[in-house]
Amino acid sequence: MPRRNRVDPFGDLHAVAARGLFTGNRGCLVDADERVVRHHRGTLWITCVTAFRGRRVGLARPGRWTPLFFLDDAVALAAGHRPCGECRYADYRSYLDAVSAARGEPVRAGDLNRLLAVERLRRGGGLERASDRRPWTAPSSGLPDGTVVLHDGPRLVLHDRLLAFTFDGWRDPVPRPGGELVVLTPPTSVAALVHGFVPELGYSARLPGGDR
C-alpha cells in the first residue's frame, strides 16, 4: 500500500503509487509508529533529487526528516518548497539569484524560508487542509511558465495554455484566459520564475509540437 507522502500543488499529502521527478522534505512528519501526524515541522521546505551520493533515507523514520515526492518543480514550488542548497546547488543558486534580482537586494537561505513560510499562510502545525491556503491574484499575461493557478482545479501555466494537474502528469491543455487568475504558487517563487529560474517540468508538460 502506498505511503501518504505524495504532494499535490496545495501542499497536501496523499497515498498514491506515482512518485515523480523529485523528493524533498519539510521536517519529520511521523510519530513513533511511522504514522503521518503533522503537515510540516519548521520552515525549511526543500525539493531534492531522488539520488545523491549514494545516501539512503527511510521513508518514515521517527525523529528524522520524512521524504516527500513531487511530480516536478512546478508542483513543489506551488506547494511552497524551494530547491535544496546541497543536492540541487545549481538550481538553488539560480532560484536565490532570481529572488535577489526581483527584490533588488541580496537574499539568503534563511530569508527564502521566512518569505515562503509567510506566503504559504498555513495555520498551526497540525494536519492542515488545502482550504487553509489563501491564493492570490495576478494578471494572466504576466504569469511565467511554471506557475500553478486555480482554474477548474490546479493548472500549470505553459505558453498560451493551462494544463490540469494529476499525480501522473499534466493533462487536458486549455487556452490560457485573459484577465486576472487565482495563483497558487507563492509570490516569491513566481518572482523567481520571472527573473530567470527555470523549473524542471515533467515530460507530460510538453505541448504537441513544442518545447516545455
For 29-81, the pLDDT digits (tens) are 989 888 888 888 989 999 999 886 766 666 667 777 799 999 999 999 999 99
- Of 10-24, 49-63, 110-124, the poorest mean pLDDT is in 49-63
Q: Output the pLDDT for position 129.
A: 56
Q: Output the pLDDT for position 126.
A: 45
Place of cell 532560484: 95
Q: pLDDT above 90 covers what percent of the chain?
A: 69
Distance CA 43, CA 110 (A): 9
Q: How many CB atoms lie within 10 A of CB 28?
A: 18
Strands 169-175 and 4-7: unpaired
Q: Output the pLDDT for position 52.
A: 66
Share the mean pLDDT of the chain. Answer: 88
**Letter for the amino acid at 128?**
E
pLDDT at 194 over 80: yes
Strands 46-48 and 82-83: parallel
Q: Output the pLDDT for position 127.
A: 46
Residues 132-178: tens digit of each pLDDT: 677 899 999 999 999 999 999 999 999 999 999 999 999 999 999 99
Confidence of residue 188 (pLDDT cuts 50, 70, 90): very high
Confidence of residue 120 (pLDDT cuts 50, 70, 90): confident
